[in-house]
Amino acid sequence: MSAKKAFVFLLLLLGLTATAVTYAWEPVPVSEDPLVRMPGTQPEQNVYLPNSDQCYNCHGDYDPVVEPWRNWSGSMMAQALRDFLFWPATTVAAQDAVWAVGGPNATDICLRCHTPIGWLGGRSDPTNGSLLSDADFDAVQCTFCHRMYDPFFDTTYAGTREGDDWSGYWDETDASDMPSSAAAWETYLQDSVEAAHITLFNGQSFFVNNQPPAGYIENGGGQYFVSDQNLRRASFADAEANHGMLYSRYHKSKYFCSTCHDVSNPVLLNLNANPQEPLPSETVPAYSYYHVERTFSEFMLSAYGQAGGAPGVGPFAPEIFDTSHPGDVIASCQDCHLRDMPGKGADKNGAVLRPVESVEHPQSGVPQHDLTGGNMWVPAILASTVPGSPNYDSVNDALLNQGPELLTLDLNAGLGLDPDALLAGVARAQQNLHDAAGITDFLYEPGSGEVSFRLQNQTGHKLLSGFPEGRRMFVNIRAYVGEALLWEVNPYDETVGTLKGLPPAYSPDSPPLAEHEFYVDALVYEVHLSSDLTGEEKTFHVALSTHRDKDNRIPPRGFLIDEAAARLVDPAWMGSSAPDYFTAAEYAGGYDAVTLSDYGIALPGADRVEVYLYYQTTSREYVTFLRDEINGTGNLTLWNPPPSGEPEAYIAQTDPFFAQLAAWGDTVWQLWEHNRDLPGAAPVFMVGASWQLVQDDGYAVQYDGWRGGEDADAFGGGFRAADAAGQWIVYRATQPSNYVTLLVCRGPDQGLAYPLIDGQFQGILDLYAPTAGCQEAVTYTGLTPTPHTVVVLASGLGNPHATGSEVRLDGFGSGGGVVDDDSPAVIYGSWSGMELPQASGGTLRMATRANAGITFNVTGDRVVWLSAFCPVCGEAALYVDDVYQATVDTYSPTWLFQQSVVVADLPPGAHSIEIRATGTKNPASAGTLVVFDGFASVP
């Protein structure tokens, strides 16, 4: 908000302090509190939503890849109220709200999206969650989403809101006996009936002639509209079911996801508003005030959010990634997070096999209810609380099962936890993180020490996105000579559990940097909120934040920066809006072009440079904040006396309202300390690239007629030289790269060379220079990212100024994706890693997607594949030297680790072994998981 508005608000708070005559806050029912009122269906309308267990009968246990049930139950949507970071954050927000405005109802904003069935049922008031029970803990469940209706149904139906390309964008043919247009009209009529029940806080009708208020153009911030009719709504007009249905364009609309993924704080907006008039939160879109998170706005300003969508990049490119839109473009959130899959949406005989059996929607598959982001940490820990889970942990079990009387959280309420589904969700989240980013144009110059590369955002929103507190993504750069670490940028201290070199005021526990280390804040991608209320430039008090101090997250492709400020998604740097933080080319391409010298850093003299991108769901700094704010100890940030007139700022340990929340301070800290080495708290590898310099006499270099020479200025102290026409030198790279570097020597006696890359002549390379020098990089970019073969021919010629025709080569360099065989962060195709103590070496890799393959080379006549057998394990095909050998069934009714699958009677010698997930399974299995835990060969 503006400085003037902040000043006026602070004056108001100071006025409250001066005039208050009571010191105990009085509860206000949420239904009577204008500060938290937002448009949509209200609890007092008594909308009843059936529990999700009814949906399992038809939508579960028939196809774990496609079926809605299993994927949803392993997602954070199903676990939003079991999220053990949510509850301490809610506790802090309640305490903050009492401090600022004299009541805790700000947490109503949190509960309405994390337990909509509880909120609509009136059990989220009081807003400490003490009345929540049973199915409320199933969070964002089936009937909630499938009973939602479009508040902009009138313009959507008319085709003026999201377009009228019925056959293309909407995938409607009207050619079946259940035409979409007729079904959409039936839904429109029902929507108009529903809309008549929606009122403003002052009792007036929200809709007039089926239109919401003129300035209200999006329903973000948890403003959902839910039907009181037990008719399930979804995206197919030709579906058949045993329950009532309505065809809903809304469910395939990009606007559907804005409901809970464009979050703002109405408390600060509605303060001092006249409740007799329409409230500010009822007349403007949520994106326009008090930023909490903006994933949907980020998408709307991307190329994908524009009319017709746009082709994806990387693993989402049209030739790889299928959608229901023409040209396989990406045009909605659902294209990635509920992607089209071939299969049936239910286990009944009448269920349509999509897309092949659908005349009405011929391009649309079954929406895979993946619903996954990048959170690996929370679902893995939730799974670990279940005895019998492959990652069971008694400490986590004890911490999270203290009971609702201490934590409000009840892990046994509702459907409970399915550890296999949760761990499958962990694997999907890791795959998402791997797919989210790419590194291109990686260059290193050993002489100057310059490092440059592009970080490509391959998602449809900012990278990273979602709830800002504690989440971060950072670049780590390491430069080596041999195996010795020469330089490091943004080092992470695993012992302490945070980045080194963070400002002490922000992170007192952050270790200092060593002489060879650098911290670059611009290469830590994150949001820091700021609060005029607490006076903090950087704050974790999300309920008290007034603006952003830092937001340098990478924009998606085609980002409309001129429209970003209106949605509060413009970059921010040092407390101010920074629309020029990225260039026009970076906004258009969706990347961050990194040049290390821009930060005054050079890394000279290395023969190997590695760049890694890491992601953290939460940080030591955030968990420390939660602990201290709830316990009222440590580095406290609220001042006394509170602006609301209360006698004390920190009341979570003494006020009865917090009786079932007070233990979260110690609990969340103990959970982090015990699990800080798990991916998510520990940095998760997303993508990497490396630059490797190969000396002129390296094993990968072959030469004919080139002689060796010594020069102290040359890399490694030597070079290779030739002066006769036709003498050649060959370098064969082993890693894929989109560039190649020649390290050359120049001088007055140096001549002309003819470089070829993969047989293509690159032009004459003139090595003449008035003064001699080595280790000069000549780089050829824009290559196909494959391993390249480089040939340099001596010409026997020199330019007119040269005194000779000698050609001296000092080395070769190329870059490629980093592959670490021992790291669980490695992903081979669609195989993702996981840490498990029962696995060989503590790690394993797994895949569920058909044709996901992993290949390794062995020497001998016998090879052992180390696997795991389990209740959700499927079948894998074995290939030796590209020849099919057998299909292996890895199903077992219980989890069995380090199981040997032996391939014998091979011809002596070297072999290539491939294990390929088939996507098929034993009928007794509940899944198609295939596990790779290692291999051994017998020579």
Residues 727-742 have a mean pLDDT of: 80
3-state secondary structure of 191: helix
Distance separating alpha carbons of residues 322 and 329, to the nearest angstrom: 8
State the alpha helices, DSSP H only, in 159-244: 180-195
Q: What is the mean pLDDT of residues 758-773?
A: 90
Q: What is the pLDDT of residue 929?
A: 82
Least confident of 241-255, 394-408, 607-621, 840-854: 840-854
Q: How confident is the model at residue 13 (pLDDT cuts 50, 70, 90)?
A: very low
User: Comparing 119-128, 330-339, 436-445, 485-494, which segment has the lowest mean pLDDT?
Assistant: 436-445
pLDDT tens per residue, range 305-316? 999 999 999 999
What is the pLDDT, as a whole number, of residue 835? 65
Q: Which residue has the higher pLDDT, 330 or 726?
A: 330
In this structure, of 24-28, 493-497, 518-522, 817-821, the range with the lowest mean pLDDT score is 817-821
C-alpha torsion angle, residues 461, 462, 467, 468 (rounded to 10)? -170
Minimal CA–CA distance to 621: which of 531, 507, 502? Answer: 507
Would you place residue 731 in the very low, low, confident or very high pLDDT band (cuts 50, 70, 90)? confident
Q: Quote the pLDDT of residue 847.
A: 74
DSSP 873: B
- Given a contact cutoff of 8 angstroms between Cβ atoms, the answer to whether 364 and 355 are in contact is yes
Please say if the pLDDT value at position 818 is more than 50: no
Element (H, E) at 154: helix 153-158
pLDDT at 168: 96
Per the prediction, the chain carries an average pLDDT of 90
Residue 827 has pLDDT above 80, yes or no: no
Instruction: Tell me the pLDDT tens digit for each residue of 426-457.
Output: 999 998 999 999 999 888 888 889 999 999 99
As a whole number, mean pLDDT of residues 723-749 equals: 83
**Model pLDDT for residues 771-802, shown as the tens digit of each residue:** 998 888 898 988 887 888 888 888 888 888 98
761's enclosing H/E stretch is strand 760-761
Q: Which residue has the tokens 């109405």?
A: 266
Cβ-contact 2, 565 below 8 angstroms: no
296 CB burial (10 A radius; 0-12, 13-18, 19+)? buried
The pLDDT of residue 883: 86
Domains along the chain?
148-294 (no CATH), 434-438+453-602+609-679 (no CATH), 696-816 (2.60.120.260), 832-938 (2.60.120.260)
Q: Is the pLDDT of residue 336 over 70?
A: yes
Does the structure show a pLDDT above 70 at 202?
Answer: yes
- Whether 417 has a pLDDT exceeding 90, the answer reads yes
Which tens digits make up the pLDDT trace of 510-537?
999 999 999 999 999 999 999 999 999 9
pLDDT score of 822 more than 90 = no
> What is residue 23's predicted lDDT score, i.e. its pLDDT?
41
Whole-angstrom distance, CA of residue 87 vs CA of residue 580: 37
Lookup result for tokens 């056959």:
167
55 or 736, higher pLDDT: 55
> Around 356, how many Cα atoms within 13 Å sit in the side-chain half-sphere?
4
Residues 725-749 have a mean pLDDT of 83
Residue 7 confidence class, pLDDT cut points 50, 70, 90: very low
Cβ atoms within 10 Å, residue 48? 11
| pLDDT the model gives residue 936 | 64
pLDDT per residue as tens digits for the range 649-681: 999 999 999 999 999 999 999 999 999 999 999
Selected residue with higher pLDDT from 856 and 648: 648
